[in-house]
Amino acid sequence: MDIKRDKYLNDLINRMHNGMIKVIDFIANLGSKRYYIQSAFSMPTEEKRLQEKASLVNVNDSFKKIIIVKDVVNVTRDEDGITTMSIYDFLLKENSLEL
């Protein structure tokens, strides 16, 4: 059974600049590994980057934390250990959770 989410995605895109916070979070478990995944449409400013990573910084464990953006960006890991990558790397690279 396919679940069509186009309407919801389009609603998010149409409302992305209205000042309201939109969060889509995932927690993925793979055996004994856990990944906290935060998606962000884009992070054009330092203020937006800090806003997007705030929930991940407050998770007090050592599991991997990832922010996924729609923009094409190099995979980076910041001083808090949070990895940022593009949706393309996340979806198309087999080892994306380990980048």
| pTM greater than 0.75 | no
Is residue 86 helix, strand or coil? strand
Confidence of residue 1 (pLDDT cuts 50, 70, 90): very low
Question: Lowest mean pLDDT: which of 1-10, 45-54, 86-95?
Answer: 1-10
The first and second tokens of residue 87, run together, are 């949706």
Residue-wise pLDDT for 40-90, tens only, equals: 889 999 999 998 898 888 888 899 999 999 989 999 999 999 999 999 999
Distance CA 21, CA 11 (A): 13
**What are the domain boundaries of the chain?**
22-98
Q: What is the DSSP string of 23-66?
A: -EEEEEEETTEEEEEEEES---SHHHHHHHHHHHHT--S-SEEE
24-53 mean pLDDT? 87
For residue 69, with 0-12 CB atoms within 10 Å meaning exposed, 13-18 middle and 19 or more buried, which class applies?
buried
